[in-house]
C-alpha cells in the first residue's frame, strides 16, 4: 500500500486520518464525505396583532393649573433674568452710583468700600465725599468716564463686591482713605475735624501738629482752638481737596489789627458769618483779631431795596502785605482803574471844556454837572493870576449803587502856578459821585464802558499857598 503524505507540510498520513497530525490539514477525501447542511425553507414570522389603544383620560383642572403655573414660572424667570441683566448692568449701576454721590441728601454708604480696615463706612462718614462731588460736577463726570473705562480718579476705582439675587454682580467704588496733618503755632491747641474733637496738637517752639484720619476723602472742615494770652481764639478752614495719605493743613492762629471800609450800615462777614456792622462812616475796626490763610472777608448791604454781597477778599494776604484798611469789591461795579481813567478825563483841562468832555457824561452837553465843571475850568483859564495849573484825581472808594451804577468817592488835587511866583495847592473831596454803565458800549469797540451821571458834591480838605520865595 503506497504511503500518503500531507500535501501541505509533508507529514506522513497514517491510515485513514481525516486531518494531518502536524498542521491540521483536511485531506480531500475526508472533506468530500463531510455532510453539508441542508437548506431549510424560510419561515415567515407571524405579526402579532397590537391591542387597540386605550382612549386618553382628559386632564383634570388641577393638572391644567399645574402646567399653567409651571409655564408662568418659566416665563417669569426668563423675564427676571432679562430685567436683571439690564438693571444690574455695569453701566446702569455706575449711573446710580453717580446719582448717590451727587447729593448729600442721599445715603451713599451702600455704594462704597475701602481697603482701609480702620475707616468706618456709614451714611455720615461718606458725606464729605458726596459734598465734594456735589460741588464739583466736572470731577463727578470724569469719575464716571474713568471707572467705565477701567481707570481711576483720585485713586477711586470700580470693583465687584458680592451679588444681587445671587446671579447679578454688585459693583461699588473702592475709595482710598484720606489722612491729614494739622499744623498750628500755639501749645495746647485742640484740633477739630468736621466739628468733632480729635485731640490736641503736640510739639514745641511754635510748631505743633496733629495727625488725623482715616476719613473718606472730599470736603472737610478743620478747626483749631487755643487760649492765647488769656483769650480764647480759634481758626476755621474748609478744605475740599483732601485726598490720599498726605494732606498738610496750615492752621496758624495769627492776630492782626485792621479796618473794614465799605457801605455805611453794611454787615461784615468773615468766613460767611456775621461779625459786626459798619458805622455811619462805613467803617469797623478789628483789634488783634485771629486770622488764618483761608480767612475770607465780605460785606453785605441793602442797596435800593436789594441785598448785595461783595466779592470775597483773603484777609491774611492783605494784612501780610501790611494793608490796614480793607475794602471788598462788588461784582457789577466799575473797576478802580476805569473809574480813575473816567474821572481823570473829566477833570483834565484839555477836555473839560470841549465836546470830547461832554461825551463822558450821561445826556452829554445837557448834563448839569458837565456844565458846572466846564464853567469852573473856564474860570481857571480866564484868571489872569494863573500862569498854569494841573489836576490829579485819586479814587478813594467804590460802592455799588444798584442797576449798573457805582457810587464813587474821590479827591481832586488842583495845583496853580500863580503869576506872582507862588503856588496854590487845593484838594477837593467829592462824594455822591455816580458812574453808570454806558448802554451803547461795545466790548469790541474802544468806547467808554461807563459814563458820569453826576460828579458828586465837593468839599475842601486842603488849601495851601506857597510863596514865590519858598519855591526858589
CB 260 within 8 A of CB 296: no
CB 21 within 8 A of CB 11: yes
Question: Of 374, 364, 362, 368, nearest to 404 (Cα)?
Answer: 362
Judged against a pLDDT cut of 60, whether residue 35 lies above it is answered with no
Coil/strand/helix, residue 234: strand
Q: Calculate mean pLDDT across residues 23-31.
A: 70
Judged against a pLDDT cut of 80, whether residue 30 lies above it is answered with no
Give the tens place of pLDDT for each residue, 275-285.
Answer: 999 998 889 99
Ramachandran sector of residue 402 (left: φ over 0; alpha: ψ -120 to 50; beta: rest) = left
- Residues 314, 177: Cα–Cα separation, whole Å: 30
Give the tens place of pLDDT for each residue, 104-128.
Answer: 999 999 999 999 999 999 999 999 9
pLDDT value at position 444?
A: 62
pLDDT value at position 288?
A: 77
CB 300 within 8 A of CB 278: no
Q: Where are the domains of the chain?
A: 87-174, 178-250, 258-320, 336-471
DSSP-derived pairing of the beta strands 218-228 and 231-242: antiparallel
Q: Calculate mean pLDDT across residues 209-232.
A: 89
CB 134 within 8 A of CB 102: yes
Q: What is the CATH number of domain 336-471?
A: 3.10.450.50
Binning pLDDT at 50, 70 and 90, where does residue 445 land? low
| Backbone dihedral angles phi then psi of residue 412, each to the nearest 5 degrees | -125, 120
DSSP code string of 305-368: TEEEEPPPEEHHHHHHTT--EE----TTSPPHHHHHHHHHHHT-TTTTTSHHHHTTBTTGGG-H
Percent of all residues in the chain with a pLDDT value above 90, rounded to a whole number: 51
The lowest-confidence range among 27-41, 289-303, 336-350 is: 27-41
Alpha helices in 418-467 (DSSP H): none
Give the tens place of pLDDT for each residue, 337-376.
Answer: 899 999 999 999 888 888 888 989 998 888 999 999 999 9
Q: What is the CATH number of domain 178-250?
A: 2.60.40.10
Give the tens place of pLDDT for each residue, 310-337.
Answer: 999 999 888 888 778 998 988 888 888 8
CB 200 within 8 A of CB 190: yes
Close Cβ partners of 463 (under 8 Å, ≥ 6 residues apart): 424, 425, 426, 427
Question: Of 226, 246, 222, 242, nearest to 234 (Cα)?
Answer: 226
- Residues 256, 285: Cα–Cα separation, whole Å: 11
pLDDT value at position 263?
A: 85
CB 222 within 8 A of CB 251: yes
Binning pLDDT at 50, 70 and 90, where does residue 470 land? low
Judged against a pLDDT cut of 80, whether residue 54 lies above it is answered with no
Distances (CA, A) of 153 to 100, 103, 175, 341: 17, 19, 10, 48
Give the tens place of pLDDT for each residue, 383-436.
Answer: 999 999 999 999 988 888 877 889 899 999 999 999 998 999 999 999 999 999
Output the pTM of the full model: 0.48
pLDDT value at position 36?
A: 53
Angle between helices 137-148 and 127-135 (to 10 degrees): 110
Give the tens place of pLDDT for each residue, 55-109.
Answer: 777 777 787 787 888 888 888 888 888 888 888 899 999 999 999 999 999 999 9
Give the tens place of pLDDT for each residue, 240-250.
Answer: 889 988 899 98
pLDDT value at position 117?
A: 95
Judged against a pLDDT cut of 90, whether residue 18 lies above it is answered with no
pLDDT value at position 109?
A: 95
* Burial state string for 434-452 with b = 16 or more CB within 10 A and e = fewer than 16: bbbbeeeeeeeeeebbbbb
Percent of all residues in the chain with a pLDDT value above 70, rounded to a whole number: 91
Binning pLDDT at 50, 70 and 90, where does residue 206 land? confident
Q: Cell for 127?
A: 458725606
* Angle, alpha carbons 54-57-61 (nearest 5°): 170
- Residues 27, 32: Cα–Cα separation, whole Å: 9
Binning pLDDT at 50, 70 and 90, where does residue 45 land? low
Judged against a pLDDT cut of 70, whether residue 42 lies above it is answered with no
Owner of C-alpha cell 501790611: 322
Q: Is 464 exposed, middle or buried (0-12, 13-18, 19+ CB in 10 A)?
A: exposed
Owner of C-alpha cell 452829554: 364
pLDDT value at position 41?
A: 56
Edge-to-edge, what's the strand order for the sheet holding 168-174?
112-113, 168-174, 157-164
pLDDT value at position 455?
A: 94
Average pLDDT, the chain: 87
Question: Of 375, 343, 373, 376, nearest to 450 (Cα)?
Answer: 343
Amino acid at each position: 500500500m503506497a504511503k500518503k503524505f500531507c500535501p501541505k507540510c509533508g507529514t506522513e498520513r497514517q491510515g485513514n486520518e481525516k486531518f494531518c497530525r502536524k498542521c491540521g490539514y483536511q485531506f480531500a477525501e475526508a472533506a468530500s464525505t463531510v455532510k453539508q447542511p441542508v437548506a431549510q425553507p424560510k419561515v415567515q414570522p407571524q405579526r402579532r396583532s397590537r391591542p387597540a389603544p386605550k382612549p386618553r383620560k382628559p386632564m383634570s383642572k388641577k393638572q391644567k393649573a399645574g402646567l399653567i403655573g409651571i409655564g408662568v414660572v418659566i416665563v417669569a424667570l426668563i423675564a427676571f433674568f432679562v430685567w436683571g441683566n439690564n438693571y444690574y448692568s455695569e453701566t446702569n449701576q455706575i449711573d446710580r452710583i453717580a446719582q448717590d454721590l451727587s447729593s448729600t441728601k442721599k445715603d451713599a454708604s451702600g455704594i462704597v468700600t475701602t481697603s482701609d480696615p480702620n475707616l468706618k463706612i456709614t451714611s455720615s462718614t461718606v458725606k464729605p465725599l458726596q459734598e465734594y462731588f456735589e460741588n464739583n460736577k466736572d470731577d463727578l463726570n470724569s469719575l464716571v468716564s474713568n471707572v467705565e473705562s477701567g481707570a481711576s480718579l483720585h485713586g477711586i476705582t470700580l470693583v465687584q463686591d458680592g451679588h444681587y439675587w445671587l446671579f447679578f454682580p454688585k459693583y461699588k467704588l473702592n475709595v482710598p482713605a484720606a489722612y491729614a496733618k494739622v499744623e498750628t503755632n500755639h501749645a495746647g491747641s485742640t484740633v477739630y475735624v468736621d466739628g468733632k474733637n480729635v485731640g490736641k496738637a503736640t510739639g514745641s517752639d511754635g510748631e505743633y501738629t496733629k495727625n488725623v484720619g482715616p476719613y473718606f476723602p472730599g470736603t472737610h472742615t478743620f478747626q483749631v482752638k487755643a487760649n492765647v494770652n488769656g483769650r480764647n481764639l480759634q481758626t476755621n478752614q474748609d478744605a475740599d481737596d483732601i485726598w490720599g495719605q498726605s494732606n498738610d493743613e496750615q492752621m496758624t492762629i495769627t492776630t492782626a489789627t485792621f479796618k473794614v471800609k465799605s457801605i455805611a450800615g453794611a454787615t461784615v462777614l468773615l468766613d460767611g458769618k456775621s461779625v459786626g456792622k459798619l458805622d455811619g462812616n462805613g467803617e469797623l475796626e478789628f483789634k488783634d483779631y485771629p486770622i488764618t490763610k483761608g480767612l475770607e472777608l465780605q460785606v453785605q448791604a441793602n442797596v435800593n431795596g436789594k441785598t448785595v454781597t461783595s466779592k470775597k477778599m483773603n484777609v491774611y494776604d492783605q494784612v501780610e502785605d501790611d494793608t490796614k484798611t480793607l475794602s471788598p469789591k462788588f461784582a457789577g461795579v466799575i473797576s478802580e482803574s476805569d473809574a480813575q481813567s473816567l474821572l481823570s478825563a473829566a477833570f483834565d483841562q484839555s477836555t473839560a471844556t470841549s465836546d470830547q468832555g461832554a461825551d463822558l457824561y450821561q445826556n452829554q452837553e445837557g448834563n448839569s454837572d458837565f456844565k458846572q465843571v466846564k464853567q469852573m475850568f473856564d474860570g481857571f483859564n480866564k484868571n489872569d493870576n494863573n500862569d498854569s495849573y494841573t489836576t490829579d484825581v485819586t479814587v478813594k472808594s467804590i460802592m455799588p449803587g444798584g442797576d449798573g451804577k457805582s457810587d464813587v468817592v474821590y479827591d481832586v488835587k488842583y495845583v496853580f502856578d500863580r503869576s506872582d511866583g507862588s503856588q496854590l495847592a487845593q484838594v477837593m473831596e467829592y462824594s455822591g459821585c455816580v458812574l453808570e454803565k454806558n448802554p451803547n458800549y461795545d466790548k469790541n469797540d474802544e468806547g467808554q464802558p461807563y459814563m458820569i451821571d453826576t460828579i458828586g458834591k465837593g468839599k475842601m480838605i486842603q488849601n495851601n499857598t506857597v510863596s514865590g520865595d519858598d519855591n526858589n
